[in-house]
Amino acid sequence: MKLNPILLTLTAFLGHLPLHAESLTITGNATGLLKETVSDLKSGKDGTGLTQEVELPEFTRGAYYRPHSASTAAGNRVEAVAFTSIAELEAYQPSKTRKAHNKVQEGQFILLELKDGRYLALLPMTSEKVYGQFFLKDGKLLLKTGNFGTDAVNGEIPLICWAYGESPYSATEAVWKQVFASGYVAAQPRASKTYPEEPYGYLGWCSWEFYKTKISEKIISDAFHTIEDNSAPIRWLMVDDGYLDEKGRKLISFGVDKKKFPNGWDPIMDLKDPEKIKWVGVWRNFGGYMSGVSSANTMKDLKPYLKPVKKKGTVMAYGGKEAANAFYDAMVSDTKESGFNFVKVDFQARTFDHYKGMPDPIGAMRANNEALENATHKMGIPLLNCIAQHNINSLQTKYSTLTRSSPDYNQSDKDKNKCNTYQSFANHLWMGQTVWGDLDMFHTHDERDVKPMAIARAISGGPVYISDEPSKIVPEVLVPFAYEDGKLLRTAAPATLLPESFFIHPFRDENVFRVIAPMEDGVAAIALFNFTEGGKALSGGFNTKDYTYAGELLQPNTGAWSSPEEGLVVYDREAKSAVDLADGFTTEIPNFDAKLFLLYPKTNGWAVIGRTDKYLPAVAVKVKSADNDQIVFTLKESGPLAIWSEKGAPKMEGATFKSIGENLYFADLPVKAGELEVTVTR
């Protein structure tokens, strides 16, 4: 069928004077990348030089991803907003949960559901020369592209990628394939990179949310001992902000504040134990520290590579790849030589503000991103990107596999945590093509929101770590995440929203939002969240069609899963019950609560539910074979086991199964480290 075209009218400005005007039409091709060749393109006061109107095909609804912070690239604040027209989007006013989240400029991704039922994904491009963003004005969608500096831009520049698909997931995957193949950016597909199982495949603890910057050698050492005395299998610890050698929020050196850490890092590293807290990580600031690097810094080897920026007394790595490589090699070398096993590099996008108004801000950011990726990769230091959701950073993830997908968790701000949760799962749609999302830490002792926060992290597929004051850690919350050695039970792809949940207002309207993730053996996890402001319990559910989307989240993507011929079993982990999915499943979700379900395909009347003491019981199981009489599978660690059997009670040597209704049977196997091969007959 003939596709509705997108017409882009390009008008370039030097100050207020148009350089040229030109129309570009996106044809009926399923995917595409628009480019422009420019000559002496200068950026205006807003940092951009090209302004383009984007005329969209007819659509029924959309999701517009924009930073809700006050200035360009200010934080972990890229958030999706639902709309039905550009005029409605431009006039967007948030509900009380989102409070001041009313900014709709600087968009970086759009998902549209078209009138014909297909989906369209649009992503502004960046390169070594320019950075593109969406803006709204007078009911029009605009694309603005520039370098935010004083140098003129010449030559070919990318503008925007687009792709159509039969689902949000296929459209987004297709647009990212254009990104990866474009040659303008460094980002690589998630599947081409290795998830850092050590340490992020294990439970962890971070100093930030409880201690903030008030840390010291004694505080971190005491935390070590208290955590190790807890029965939760926490295996790593992250030293966050508060230790650096800085003055006036400017970096003096990559070393430590001698008043807080008089003996350097040795006393902390001496506490590492292969059987307990095995790995220790550290927080770094992408720009050195909050206000950059002090001109009075003590890093003599870096002097040739640090140049003054507009902020008085501040210098930054500037001068192309050589300067960037020198700075980040020094940062990562200090990290490794100090004994740290991994690093979180924060304020990545915020560092852009230091470079604005210099000759080539975009070139500096590109060089810095690549230098950090290269340094951590070659030195074997796993990298967690933070405040890096903007395309200027996110399109440069060449080796790193983790990026924060929301702002910080905040124990005292229930509304913020609701926003963070929805934001993360919406962001995983586009971020998940190149990285796994990090939902940040949470507190196990916060009875008010611990259940939905735990469910969100269990299904996310990303890291799981906490920030309780160590003596307040509740092990019962953490044990269901992991095996006895702290190894997490993780999904096979980052969890994201089911299609209709991209196009709702999850707080002000009475809508449950739904999240899905795939696992091995064709099992899917679905979580239902009721975060609405009305305070009422709401009904929510899912059906067989929802199950099929899980397959599209995998990399490589072989397409949506088929509906199993025998049907699906729905397991409620909290209630420890199982029912046939049949025509659909509905349940009631209390306000500010969540429920987690697993959907298992029936195979010859079997479904191995798995470890009933875990949030994701199916991850503990790998089925080897199944026929009408028996099923053979491996338990990755022995423990309480549930099996669904349609054709009679299961039998197993050395264990007794108890019927708990609806063809569900339970065997109380002892928790024991090591794989266990199991044969069950009936």
β partners of residue 23: 9
Residue 99 is predicted with a pLDDT of: 87
The CA angle 456-461-462, to the nearest 5 degrees, is 90
pLDDT tens sequence across 623-668: 999 999 999 999 999 999 999 999 999 999 999 999 999 999 999 9
User: Which amino acid appears at position 659 of this protein?
Assistant: S
Q: What single-letter DSSP state applies at residue 138? A: T
How far is residue 330 from each of residues 187, 238, 253, 261, measured CA to CA in Å?
A: 23, 20, 10, 20
Query: Which domain does 144 fall in, by range?
Result: 6-185
Q: Is pLDDT above 90 for 412? A: no
How far is residue 312 from each of residues 208, 248, 289, 309, 354, measured CA to CA in Å?
A: 29, 12, 15, 7, 11
- 153 and 225 part of one domain: no
Q: Which of 380, 404, 428 is the last residue of a domain?
A: 404
Considering only the C-alpha atoms of the chain, give the largest distance between any 2 of them, rounded to a whole number of Å.
Answer: 83
On whether the CB atoms of residues 539 and 586 are closer than 8 A, the answer is yes
- 178 and 214 part of one domain: no
Q: Is pLDDT above 50 for 24? A: no
Q: What single-letter DSSP state applies at residue 11? A: E
- 367 and 317 part of one domain: yes
Q: What single-letter DSSP state applies at residue 266? A: H
How far is residue 255 from each of residues 60, 237, 271, 288, measured CA to CA in Å?
A: 54, 19, 19, 11
CATH code for the domain in which residue 208 is found: 3.20.20.70
Residue at 529 is within a domain: no
User: Which amino acid appears at position 539 of this protein?
Assistant: S
Residue the block writes with tokens 């006061």: 45
Task: Name the burial class of residue 580, with classes exposed (0-12), middle (13-18) and buried (19+) by CB atoms within 10 angstroms of its CB.
Answer: middle
- Tell me what the mean pLDDT of segment 274-286 comes to: 98
Q: Cα(234)–Cα(281) distance, rounded to whole angstroms?
A: 14
Q: Cα(189)–Cα(176) distance, rounded to whole angstroms?
A: 8
- 276 and 398 part of one domain: yes
- 181 and 208 part of one domain: no
Residue 26 is predicted with a pLDDT of: 58
- 227 and 301 part of one domain: yes
Residue 25 is predicted with a pLDDT of: 61
Q: Which of 126, 159, 185 is the last residue of a domain?
A: 185
- Tell me what the mean pLDDT of segment 579-594 comes to: 96
Residue at 439 is within a domain: no
β partners of residue 77: none
Residue 12 is predicted with a pLDDT of: 35
Residue 316 in tokens: 């930054």
Residue 8 is predicted with a pLDDT of: 40
- Tell me what the mean pLDDT of segment 102-122 comes to: 95
Q: Which of 158, 185, 212 is the last residue of a domain?
A: 185
Residue at 154 is within a domain: yes
Q: Cα(483)–Cα(489) distance, rounded to whole angstroms?
A: 7
Domain count, the chain: 2
Bridging pattern class, strands 6-14 and 50-55:
antiparallel
pLDDT tens sequence across 601-622: 999 999 999 999 999 999 999 9
Residue at 174 is within a domain: yes
Residue at 153 is within a domain: yes
- Tell me what the mean pLDDT of segment 494-503 comes to: 98
3-state secondary structure of 437: strand
- Tell me what the mean pLDDT of segment 89-107 comes to: 93
| pTM, to two decimals | 0.95
Q: Is pLDDT above 60 for 20? A: no
- 397 and 253 part of one domain: yes
- 134 and 73 part of one domain: yes
Q: Cα(610)–Cα(616) distance, rounded to whole angstroms?
A: 8
* Residue 55: CA count within 13 A, CB half-sphere: 11
Q: Cα(102)–Cα(90) distance, rounded to whole angstroms?
A: 10
Residue at 140 is within a domain: yes
Residue 291 is predicted with a pLDDT of: 97
- 273 and 144 part of one domain: no
- 173 and 212 part of one domain: no
Residue 29 is predicted with a pLDDT of: 80
Q: Which residues contact 259 (CB under 8 A, 6 or more apart)?
A: none
Q: What's the residue count for the chain?
A: 682
Q: Cα(607)–Cα(630) distance, rounded to whole angstroms?
A: 11
On whether the CB atoms of residues 599 and 568 are closer than 8 A, the answer is yes
Question: Which residue pairs, CB below 8 angstroms and at least 24 apart, start in 618-623?
Answer: 618/519, 618/520, 618/521, 618/523, 618/525, 619/489, 619/490, 619/491, 619/519, 619/520, 620/483, 620/489, 621/520, 621/521, 622/520, 622/521, 623/521
- 298 and 369 part of one domain: yes
Q: Is the peptide bond before 199 cis (omega within 30 degrees of 0)?
A: yes
Residue 319 is predicted with a pLDDT of: 92
On whether the CB atoms of residues 268 and 240 are closer than 8 A, the answer is no
Mean pLDDT of the chain: 94
On whether the CB atoms of residues 456 and 424 are closer than 8 A, the answer is yes
pLDDT band at 73 (very low <50, low <70, confident <90, very high): low
Question: Which percentage of the chain shows pLDDT scores above 70?
Answer: 95
pLDDT tens sequence across 391-400: 999 999 999 9
Q: Cα(596)–Cα(248) distance, rounded to whole angstroms?
A: 47
Q: Cα(614)–Cα(459) distance, rounded to whole angstroms?
A: 12
Residue at 673 is within a domain: no
On whether the CB atoms of residues 328 and 372 are closer than 8 A, the answer is yes
Question: Which percentage of the chain shows pLDDT scores above 90?
Answer: 91
pLDDT band at 411 (very low <50, low <70, confident <90, very high): confident
How far is residue 355 from each of residues 23, 153, 310, 432, measured CA to CA in Å?
A: 32, 16, 8, 28
pLDDT tens sequence across 356-392: 999 999 999 999 999 999 999 999 999 999 999 999 9
- 209 and 331 part of one domain: yes
- Tell me what the mean pLDDT of segment 223-245 comes to: 98
Q: Is pLDDT above 70 for 315? A: yes
Question: Which residue pairs, CB below 8 angstroms and at least 24 apart, start in 22-31?
Answer: 26/162, 27/3, 28/2, 28/3, 30/163, 30/164, 30/174, 31/161, 31/162, 31/163, 31/164, 31/174, 31/175, 31/177, 31/178
Q: What are phi and psi of 168, to 5 degrees?
A: -60, -35
- Tell me what the mean pLDDT of segment 580-592 comes to: 96
Residue at 80 is within a domain: yes
Q: Cα(435)–Cα(397) distance, rounded to whole angstroms?
A: 8
